[in-house]
Amino acid sequence: MGAEVTVLSQTLGKKDDGLAFGATHYHATSDPATFEALRNSFDLIVNTVSAPIDMAAHLGLLRLGGTLVSVGAPPEPLPVQVFSLFNNRRSFAGSSIGSIAETQEMLDFCAEHGIAPEVELIGADDVNEAYERVLKSDVRYRFVIDVDSLR
């Protein structure tokens, strides 16, 4: 849709998927060279993980006036070194789920542009197995329970 998108992920395990979904670049954050190579590169980083990240390292990836927005909520506080914000006038923001009207607007936008999620559809009887797979990190995307299986 006109943006140059870079995926930052812990490993290169989903690189093919990220590029197939439209990303131009894909980098592993487990490689320290990534942070040096991409320093001051991004206008916006959307952090979707609900796990702790190295905030100083990620904020260092932002260019002048860049913003890191967290939409994932890790169980522990994320420590932010204030001086990492001062450099290049960086910002750190958060966002939670929107209102019903905002959700509808997002769904309408997705429908207009042919954007659909990648999910694994499961029956209600498979919920326990799905939960075990979540615990083993054996989930590629999201599980969605087929409503018809509840009848």
**Alpha carbon distance 46, 66 (integer Å):** 11
Confidence of residue 96 (pLDDT cuts 50, 70, 90): confident
Structural domain boundaries in the chain: 6-94, 100-150
Q: Which fold has domain 6-94?
A: Rossmann fold (3.40.50)
Average model confidence (pLDDT) across the chain: 92
At 83, is the secondary structure helix, strand, or coil?
Answer: helix
Backbone angles phi, psi at 120, to 5 degrees: -115, 115
Ordered alpha helix ranges (H), the chain: 15-20, 32-37, 55-59, 82-86, 100-113, 127-135
User: 5-56 pLDDT, tens per residue?
Assistant: 999 999 998 999 999 999 999 999 999 999 999 999 999 999 998 888 999 9
Please write the tens of the pLDDT for every residue from 74-95. 888 888 988 889 889 999 999 8
Given this model, what pLDDT does residue 67 score?
97
| Cα-to-chain-centroid distance, residue 35 | 17
Put simply, whether the predicted model's pTM sits higher than 0.75 gets the answer yes
